[in-house]
Amino acid sequence: MDRLLEDLLKVITLERLELDLFRGQSRDIGSPQVFGGQVLGQALVAATATVDAGRIVHSLHAYFLRRGDFNAPIVYEVDRARDGNHFATRRVVAIQHGEQIFNLSASFQSPESGLDHQSAMPPVPAPESLPSAEAYYRDLLPAMSPAIRRQFELKRPFEFRPVEPPNFLDPPKATPLRHIWFRAIDRLPDDEGLHRCLLAYVSDYNLLETSIMPHGYSFAQGRLVMASIDHAMWFHRPVRVDEWLLYATDSPSASGARGFARGKIFSTDGRLVASTCQEGLIRPMSR
């Protein structure tokens, strides 16, 4: 397995301290705080570890309360809120330096059959026909600030291929709608729970940025303070994050220094595998 992906699996594999108490380590991805998707994925791993085998997460709702320090471990405390005949609910609190930095509620369900319909997948080019995101920013790195450049230079365990060519340094004002293909850079074990935890991790990429498109901003400009406030996710169908997935995102609103974005995640065969929503801080910096 690729070393970057292997390291990601180590990061989301938590140390069990007690029956419902876990400890996780962090990785520096170039941002000034712990990547929100990492905390989201680790919290879901902790919740999953307390649920009976065969039950799989179908929804989660989370709040980011404080910045995480990637130099210190994070403790995850799980509350077994309910175990019913078909559903189980868990609440997770992430603690660092004696304070809550994150909390999550997640619901798990035993597999059932029922009514089935979904939104159609947008007609977009296949990922194999598109260049990677790196092709669009590689030559722009010298023009970026050292802090922003570091975030782009660090290698990721996922690869991204945008459908609409991005303009990182001088973006035009545009309709807040975009599509990006992504997948893990190597093959992963056949474990549906693992794939859903990793999907939660990677779903925090490329979502909130959709809400700044109508205003001619780009994260790479370093002109905004951006941070996730909350994150919600629904898992509709089985998924593999080591196969290409299309993230179709839009932003119906931005106001009050907050942006709101939604996402639909499709497999290459057109199945809607998950949906997301996120609100985040988008505060212009004072010049």
Distances from the Cα of 201 to the Cαs of 11, 13, 37, 82, 233, in angstroms? 11, 13, 4, 25, 11
Tell me phi and psi for residue 180, to 5 degrees. -145, 130
How many CA within 13 A on the CB side of residue 223? Answer: 11
Report the Cα 156 to chain-centroid distance in Å: 13
* Annotated catalytic residue, options 38, 107, 203, 204: 204
Q: What is the DSSP string of 17-33?
A: EETTEEEE-----SSSS
Among the listed residues 39, 47, 35, 221, the one whose alpha carbon sits nearest the alpha carbon of residue 144: 221
Query: What is the distance between the alpha carbons of residues 86 and 55, in angstroms, rounded to a whole number?
Result: 8
The catalytic position among 38, 107, 228, 275 is 228
Active site residue 278: yes
User: What is d(CA 268, CA 127) in angstroms, rounded to the nearest whole number?
Assistant: 9
Which residues participate in catalysis according to the annotation? 204, 228, 278
